[in-house]
């Protein structure tokens, strides 16, 4: 019998896997003397006209010396005519009018290879090519960061490992690539399901063949499947429905430098079952399965392993209403077959089901959810089996080996109860609804809101912050539901209640009045902390719109609004800003024959008879060119200024007197005209005078003021004349909030630079 190895396998027939896995082997790698001889021409597949598992049609132009004999084994790597490679034994040869037909039957790896060594780990998600719906249409999918599993199941990999050496699976870890599939079952048959299903799978495979015989193999499959879904269901009967079925197409996976090719096929399902009277609204984050199955052959013996039932999970379910007399469950199913070379030659088949079920007889509504926590839990079970078809390893082995799991009970996860409650704050007919369907039309400095977990004595155990409302105008949201899950310290009764936090204090309840009108800003001023010298002042009207700005560099600027026009008066000069309906600045004109032109709100370019040409990019000044007479150089030269940054950023880190962090604010002031909005115009145009100069050498001079640092980088010619100057501005100050508890209409901020910012409220 001859063995033919086609297509790109001249150089290496002893194969060492490209990616070493963690699967253990007990064999040394074969030596070069053990390589089989008589490698066939790599171009032979060019003559193949049709390839199937049962026959190969060959062109009549094939050289006679390349024809096989009956009983020969054909081995091909991945080529254009053999996209999954090929392994088969010739049973007969027929001549046709246009060539030959080689009739084939399955062959074993031990028929093809005298010596073979495979030890590789395969990340299945990397080979996903497409996903199909049940009707054959394409389904979107995306590769996501594997950190998503930390949100679905916050248990580390170490905790998922069994300590029992008899059941601990050799090889290990999860696949690095996670695939997300959208789930959408919109309000039909009494069920609404929206969210995402995640899966990954890792295949660890080791095979050692010596002298045409299998001496060792170790196969492990580690599937992972989970979901993050919002579900509403209402039933009064018994049944089961498939919410989700997807067929996942994967490309060919070459092993052993291409000599062995795997052809996996995968499908995933999400099933909802019910029995009795069921009504539920919940967010379910669940990892249905995350453990591996293995089958191993060594020293003439087969071993098999499956999960031992000690797997820990941190599944989350936040229910907003529960009404149950019976059972409701969700099943996540994964089916995987791995063919060798063709889909007809199955090497591995796995089917597993992870079940998440809720059983009981109880009723809870929105009013009682946060007042009591009954002993209710989701049960989790895992079932399935891994089948290893051994015929591809040779006639000496049984047809199949199985590693069944049985039904493994993986424990109970408590239902995390969550109130669909609102937090109301009455102040000047203004209301803030927190947790669900919240909105605010108040101008607030910093209000935190969330949910608190309380023990049976109504003592707060922990707070969960959902969000924060700031002072940048109206913010509203409709239909927002934030599902929170707490880690329960131990078995017992707990309460859940909404809360708000203001300036370091947190208040529980639904009617706590903590939002006060003083949070509507009237003015912001910055003063010297030592002598009280004013640095700048910003004043706002009762609608929160800036009406006046005073700065020592530019004097006083008054802002007048109306009819898409802003009028700014500054030091006797008037500037008119024309704004389109979207709030984009169209033009800025002054009473000194200066015109600034804008495109889509961005300053394009402008010219000034006195100061040359200013060039802008995306609203930022990037260069300024003009002519100036250098008397010291006794000649007129052109100066070019390059601006790398031209904005003033004010960062506010907010704290109360007890050092409690309450928020963060950032204000941006452009030093040159850029984009303006209708309500929050803070354009500052300045030519700064610097109070101190520090010469560092190397033609570099730093000009510093109390609130900015500007670096000029000069370039001089051989005569010592300045020919270019680069300007770098570092304009940033940090302020820390100190709340004036004695004067509720003022807040104070102190900065590391020695300034105090005072905010006055209406």
- Write down the pLDDT at residue 166: 34
Indicate if the pLDDT at residue 310 is higher than 70. Answer: no
Query: Can you tell me the mean pLDDT for 374-383?
Result: 63
Residue 33: phi and psi, rounded to 5, are -65, -20
The model's confidence at residue 443, banded by pLDDT at 50, 70 and 90, is very low
Q: What is the DSSP string of 20-64?
A: --S----SPPPPGGG----PPPTTGGGGEEEE-SSEEEEETTS-G
Indicate if the pLDDT at residue 374 is higher than 80. Answer: no
Indicate if the pLDDT at residue 305 is higher than 80. Answer: no
**Residue whose pair of structure tokens reads 């009954």 in the numeric block:** 374
Q: CB within 8 A of 706, min separation 6: which ones?
A: 535, 691, 753
Select the more confidently predicted residue: 491 or 518: 491
- Write down the pLDDT at residue 102: 95
pLDDT tens digits along 268-302: 998 888 888 888 877 777 788 777 778 888 888 87
Q: Round to whole Å and give the CA distance between 489 and 676.
A: 52
Secondary structure percentages of the chain, helix, strand, coil, to 5: 5, 55, 40
Which of 73-82, 143-152, 224-233, 267-276 has the least mean pLDDT?
Answer: 143-152
pLDDT tens digits along 662-672: 333 333 333 33
Select the more confidently predicted residue: 80 or 598: 80
> Which residues in 290-399 belong to E strands, given as ranges?
293-298, 301-305, 316-340, 346-364, 377-389
Query: Can you tell me the mean pLDDT for 248-259?
Result: 87
Query: Can you tell me the mean pLDDT for 391-415?
Result: 59
Select the more confidently predicted residue: 649 or 750: 750
The model's confidence at residue 625, banded by pLDDT at 50, 70 and 90, is low
The model's confidence at residue 317, banded by pLDDT at 50, 70 and 90, is low
- Mean pLDDT across the chain, nearest whole number? 62
Q: Is the dihedral of CA 494, 495, 499, 505 positive or negative?
A: negative
Q: Round to whole Å and give the CA distance between 367 and 377.
A: 20
pTM of the model: 0.51
Which residues are registered as beta bridge partners of 344?
A: none
The model's confidence at residue 621, banded by pLDDT at 50, 70 and 90, is low
Instruction: Say what percent of the chain tops pLDDT 90.
Output: 8
Q: Round to whole Å and give the CA distance between 318 and 229.
A: 11
Residues 525-553 as b/e (b if ≥16 CB within 10 A, e otherwise) read bbbeeeeeeebbbbbbeeebebbebbbeb
Question: Are 558 and 540 within 8 A, CB to CB?
Answer: no
Select the more confidently predicted residue: 10 or 246: 246
Q: Round to whole Å and give the CA distance between 397 and 389.
A: 9
pLDDT tens digits along 714-732: 444 444 443 444 444 443 3
Query: Can you tell me the mean pLDDT for 496-515?
Result: 53
Select the more confidently predicted residue: 320 or 255: 255
Indicate if the pLDDT at residue 596 is higher than 60. Answer: no
Q: Round to whole Å and give the CA distance between 341 and 260.
A: 7
Select the more confidently predicted residue: 545 or 303: 303
Indicate if the pLDDT at residue 78 is higher than 80. Answer: yes
pLDDT tens digits along 16-66: 333 333 444 444 443 333 333 333 445 688 999 999 989 999 999 999 888
The model's confidence at residue 127, banded by pLDDT at 50, 70 and 90, is very high
Two structure tokens written together for 123: 């990340």
The model's confidence at residue 754, banded by pLDDT at 50, 70 and 90, is low
* Degrees to nearest 5, angle at CA 743 with 739 and 745: 85
What are the boundaries of each domain within the chain? 3-118, 121-201+214-417, 439-515, 521-761
Indicate if the pLDDT at residue 631 is higher than 70. Answer: no
Query: Can you tell me the mean pLDDT for 195-208?
Result: 90
The model's confidence at residue 519, banded by pLDDT at 50, 70 and 90, is very low
Which of 316-330, 447-461, 618-632 has the least mean pLDDT?
Answer: 618-632
Q: CB within 8 A of 541, min separation 6: which ones?
A: 547
Q: CB within 8 A of 40, min separation 6: which ones?
A: 4, 5, 6, 66
The model's confidence at residue 675, banded by pLDDT at 50, 70 and 90, is very low
Q: CB within 8 A of 53, min separation 6: which ones?
A: 88, 104, 106, 342, 344, 345
Indicate if the pLDDT at residue 322 is higher than 50. Answer: yes
Kindly state the DSSP code that residue 152 receives in the 8-state scheme: H
Indicate if the pLDDT at residue 508 is higher than 70. Answer: no
Indicate if the pLDDT at residue 367 is higher than 50. Answer: no
- Write down the pLDDT at residue 740: 41
Least Cα distance to 725 among 637, 649, 648, 647 occurs for 637
């Amino acid at each position: 019998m001859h063995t033919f190895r086609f297509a790109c396998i001249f150089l290496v027939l002893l194969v060492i896997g490209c990616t070493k896995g963690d699967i253990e082997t007990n064999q040394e790698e074969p030596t070069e003397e053990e390589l089989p001889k008589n490698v066939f021409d790599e171009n032979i597949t060019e003559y193949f006209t049709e390839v199937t598992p049962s026959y190969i049609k060959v062109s009549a132009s094939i050289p006679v010396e390349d024809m096989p004999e009956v009983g020969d084994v054909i081995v091909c790597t991945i080529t254009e005519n053999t996209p999954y490679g090929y392994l088969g034994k010739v049973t007969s040869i027929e001549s046709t009018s246009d060539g030959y037909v080689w009739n084939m039957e399955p062959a074993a790896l031990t028929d093809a290879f005298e010596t073979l060594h495979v030890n590789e780990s395969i990340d299945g998600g990397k080979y996903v090519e497409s996903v199909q719906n049940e009707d054959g249409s394409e389904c979107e999918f995306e590769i996501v960061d594997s950190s998503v599993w930390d949100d679905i199941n916050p248990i580390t990999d170490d905790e998922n490992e069994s300590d029992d050496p008899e059941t601990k699976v050799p090889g290990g870890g999860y696949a690095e690539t996670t695939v997300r599939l959208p789930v959408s079952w919109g309000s039909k048959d009494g069920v609404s399901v929206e969210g995402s299903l995640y899966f990954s799978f890792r295949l660890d495979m080791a095979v050692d063949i010596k002298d045409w015989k299998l001496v060792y193999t170790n196969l492990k499959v580690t599937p992972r499947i989970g979901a993050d879904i919002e579900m509403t269901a209402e039933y009064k009967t018994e049944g089961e429905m498939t919410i989700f079925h997807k067929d996942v197409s994967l490309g060919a996976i070459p092993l052993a430098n291409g000599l062995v090719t795997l052809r996996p096929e995968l499908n995933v399902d999400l099933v909802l079952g019910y029995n009795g009277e069921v009504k539920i609204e919940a967010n379910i984050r669940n990892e249905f399965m995350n453990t591996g199955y293995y089958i191993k052959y060594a020293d003439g013996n087969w071993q098999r392993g499956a999960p031992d039932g000690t797997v820990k999970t941190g599944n989350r379910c936040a229910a907003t209403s529960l009404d149950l007399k019976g059972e409701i469950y969700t099943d996540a199913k994964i089916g995987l077959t791995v063919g060798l070379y063709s889909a007809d030659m199955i090497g591995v088949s796995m089917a597993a089901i992870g079940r998440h079920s809720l059983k009981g007889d109880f009723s809870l509504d929105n009013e009682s959810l946060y007042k009591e926590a009954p002993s209710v839990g989701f049960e989790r079970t895992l079932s399935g089996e891994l089948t290893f078809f051994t015929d591809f390893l040779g006639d000496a082995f049984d047809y199949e080996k199985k590693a069944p799991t049985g039904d493994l009970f993986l424990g109970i996860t408590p239902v995390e109860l969550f109130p669909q409650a609102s937090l109301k704050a009455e102040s000047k007919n203004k209301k803030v609804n927190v947790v669900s369907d919240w909105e605010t039309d108040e101008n607030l400095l910093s209000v935190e809101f969330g949910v608190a977990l309380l023990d049976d004595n109504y003592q707060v155990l922990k707070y969960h912050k959902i969000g924060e409302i700031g002072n940048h105008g109206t913010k509203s949201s409709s239909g927002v539901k934030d599902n929170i899950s707490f880690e329960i310290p131990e078995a017992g009764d707990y309460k859940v209640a909404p809360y708000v936090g203001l300036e370091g204090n947190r208040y529980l309840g639904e009617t706590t009045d903590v939002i006060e009108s003083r949070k509507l800003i009237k003015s912001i001023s910055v003063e010297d902390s030592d002598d009280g010298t004013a640095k700048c002042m910003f004043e706002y009207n009762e609608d929160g719109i800036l009406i006046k700005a005073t700065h020592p560099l530019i004097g006083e600027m008054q802002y007048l609004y109306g009819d898409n026009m802003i009028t700014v008066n500054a030091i006797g000069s008037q500037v008119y800003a024309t704004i389109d309906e979207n709030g984009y600045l169209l033009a800025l004109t002054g009473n000194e024959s200066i015109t600034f032109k804008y495109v889509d709100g961005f300053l394009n370019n402008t010219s000034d008879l006195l100061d040359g040409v200013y060039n802008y990019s995306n609203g930022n000044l990037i260069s300024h060119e003009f002519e100036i007479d250098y008397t010291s150089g006794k000649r007129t030269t052109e100066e070019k200024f390059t601006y790398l940054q031209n904005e003033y950023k004010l960062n506010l880190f907010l704290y109360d007197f007890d050092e409690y962090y309450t928020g963060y604010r950032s204000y941006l002031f452009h030093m040159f005209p850029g984009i303006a909005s209708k309500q929050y115009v803070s354009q500052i145009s300045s030519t700064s005078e610097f109070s101190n100069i520090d010469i560092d050498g190397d033609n570099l001079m730093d000009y510093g003021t109390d609130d900015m640092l500007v670096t000029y980088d000069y370039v001089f010619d051989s005569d010592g004349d300045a020919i270019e100057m680069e300007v770098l501005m570092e304009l940033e100050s940090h302020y820390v909030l100190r709340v004036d508890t004695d004067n509720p209409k003022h807040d104070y901020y102190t900065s590391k630079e020695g300034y105090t910012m005072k905010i006055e409220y209406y």
